Amino acid sequence: MVRLVSALAAVFTLLGLCSVAASQKQDSASDVRARIVGTWELVATEERMTDGSKRAYLDVGPRGKGFLIYTADGHMCAAGMNPDRPAWLDVNKPTDAEKLRAMDGFFGYCGRYEIDAIKHVIYHYPEVALDPNAVGSKQPRPYRLDAEALTFSDKDTAPGVISYAISWKKVKATLMDRKQNSP
């Protein structure tokens, strides 16, 4: 009888610990979600090359501009561009070469996201994208979240590239946002 009571106590203790661990995992994901919801502005991109050099992402160049938006209901949108892209000579009739250069200096996609707080990975699931191959994919974004900074970094499989890092800063609410949200 004592053994049975001891075994039951051990089982209930293990169940309790599992429940607490699952609750903490959920709280962690909830905490991360609460911290990432909002608009983030691109700060910098970096690719580390196999020869030891570094360069900015080719899509956005060294002065890249971009935004990343996360909503509380699990949607996201990311867009970035090279601000040094040449303007079209005729805004109503760009040449094929001008269209191609514009696409080479831009990225954009939107869809759902999920957070794995234990592994520190945010998964993006593009539903619309400039790159048709991205639609329907699962894109892991290993992250580091510090106060108002969000950084994605990982190994890279592109030829000649070892790893990448993309840094974002949280955009502060504007005066208009504050007026709309006040009574």
Which of the pair, 23 or 107, is modelled with greater confidence?
107
Report the pLDDT value the prediction gives residue 59, as an integer from 0 to 100. Answer: 85
With beta carbons less than 8 A apart as the criterion, state whether 129 and 150 touch: no
| pLDDT exceeds cutoff 90 at 133 | yes
Give the tens place of pLDDT for each residue, 54-92. Answer: 999 988 999 999 999 999 999 999 999 999 999 999 999
Of the candidates 28, 40, 36, 9, the residue with the CA atom closest to the CA atom of residue 116: 28
Model-level pTM?
Answer: 0.77
Residue 119: the pLDDT is 94
Q: Average pLDDT, stretch 170-182? A: 70
* Structural domains present in the chain: 2-172 (2.40.128.640)
Contact 57, 104 (CB under 8 A): no
